[in-house]
């Protein structure tokens, strides 16, 4: 898979919101999320979005959690019976759709997402404006979640990561900056690092989502849904967004 390192697409302002989103994601993973053991398991089910919960509009029951089957009303394991009592009764399943954007499964997962956000986020932030970019980012994350729910409505596995929202940013970038050059590393060729048009990099990334193994644990439908949402919104709003800056001072690269 091609890994973007930098884009040759300068901005005229410091991307404060992109930097803030990256900082929040790192802070949550490093200092809020537990790592390993039962506390990690419990935290994920208490805070992350779960397709079954969105489908049924209710937190998972103990039976559903233990059995891994959405809609299961009763299950007995090793003499212990679990029923319809909610596992996390205080959970707000709709807020979990936003909370999941700031949760990650590993440092590799987190840092990979933040790299993509840093490369593509600053230009989209500048075109959408601060408030518009924040609303767009959140909406893309929610749209990505709904796409994953449509594909796996009965899943009881938590969905974590900002990749769906970031895919929305990438979709918007494709529409607004298709000819921007992306410095890209191709791991399969070890040392090949070259500038490639954004349309090629992002187009290949999008197509590769359909090659992901269904049981890989990667929420590919969320990536596709977020990307399509971002591209669609950018197409609709393109003529109403802030124009690219006319740079008269030293530009800020992303």
The pLDDT, as a whole number, for residue 189 is 59
Mean pLDDT across 87-115 = 95
With cut-offs at 50, 70 and 90, classify the pLDDT of residue 244.
confident
pLDDT in tens, 200-235: 999 999 999 998 887 778 899 999 999 999 999 999
The pLDDT, as a whole number, for residue 190 is 63
Residues 223 and 205: their CA atoms lie apart, in Å, by: 10
Mean pLDDT across 176-190 = 85
Residues 52 and 35: their CA atoms lie apart, in Å, by: 24
What is the residue extent of each domain of the chain? 3-57+93-240
- Please check whether residue 188 is in contact with residue 109, taking contact to mean a CB–CB distance below 8 angstroms: no
The pLDDT, as a whole number, for residue 98 is 95
The pLDDT, as a whole number, for residue 248 is 45
What CATH architecture does domain 3-57+93-240 belong to? Up-down Bundle (1.20)
pLDDT in tens, 110-122: 999 999 999 999 9
pLDDT in tens, 23-81: 999 999 999 999 888 899 999 999 999 999 999 999 999 999 999 999 998 988 877 88
Mean pLDDT across 146-166 = 95
The pLDDT, as a whole number, for residue 215 is 76
Q: Output phi, psi for 105, to 5 deg.
A: -90, -20
- Residues paired with residue 193 on neighbouring β-strands, in sequence order: 185
pLDDT at position 162 over 50 = yes
The pLDDT, as a whole number, for residue 246 is 61
Over the chain, what HEC string results?
A: CCEEEEECCCECCCCHHHHHHHHHHHHHHHHHCCCCHHHHHHHHHHHCECHHHHHHCCCCEHHHHHHCCCCCCCEEECCEEECCCECCCCCCCCCHHHHHHHCCCCHHHHHHHHHHHHHHHHHHHHHHCHHHHHHHHHHHHHHHHHHHHHHCCCCCCCECCCHHHHHHHHHHHHHHCCCCEEEEEEHHHCCEEEEEEHHHHHHHHHHHHHHCCCCCCCCHHHHHHHHHHHHHHHHHHHHHCCCCCCCCCCCECC
Residues 229 and 167: their CA atoms lie apart, in Å, by: 9
- From 224, 223, 196, select the one nearest 3 (Cα to Cα): 196
Q: What's this model's pTM, rounded to 2 decimal places?
A: 0.91
């Amino acid at each position: 898979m091609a890994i973007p390192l930098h884009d040759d697409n300068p901005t005229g302002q410091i991307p404060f919101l992109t930097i803030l989103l990256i900082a929040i994601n790192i802070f949550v993973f490093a200092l809020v999320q537990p790592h390993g053991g039962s506390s990690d398991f419990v935290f994920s089910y208490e805070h992350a979005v779960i397709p079954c919960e969105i489908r049924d509009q209710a937190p998972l029951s103990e039976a559903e959690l233990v059995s891994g089957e959405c809609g299961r009303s009763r299950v007995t394991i090793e003499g212990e019976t679990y029923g319809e009592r909610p596992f996390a009764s205080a959970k707000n399943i709709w807020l979990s759709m936003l909370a999941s954007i700031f949760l990650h499964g590993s440092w590799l997962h987190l840092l990979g997402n933040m790299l993509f956000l840093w490369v593509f986020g600053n230009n989209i932030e500048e075109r959408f404006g601060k408030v518009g970019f924040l609303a767009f980012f959140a909406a893309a994350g929610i749209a990505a979640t709904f796409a994953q729910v449509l594909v796996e409505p009965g899943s009881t596995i938590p969905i974590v990561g900002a990749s769906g929202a970031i895919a929305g940013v990438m979709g918007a970038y494709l529409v607004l900056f298709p000819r921007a050059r992306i410095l890209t590393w191709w791991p399969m060729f070890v040392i090949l690092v070259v500038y490639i048009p954004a349309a090629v990099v992002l187009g290949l990334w999008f197509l590769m989502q359909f090659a992901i193994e269904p049981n890989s644990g990667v929420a590919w439908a969320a990536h596709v849904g977020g990307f399509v949402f971002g591209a669609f919104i950018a197409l609709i709003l393109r003529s109403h967004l802030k124009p690219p800056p006319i740079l008269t001072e030293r530009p800020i690269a992303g």
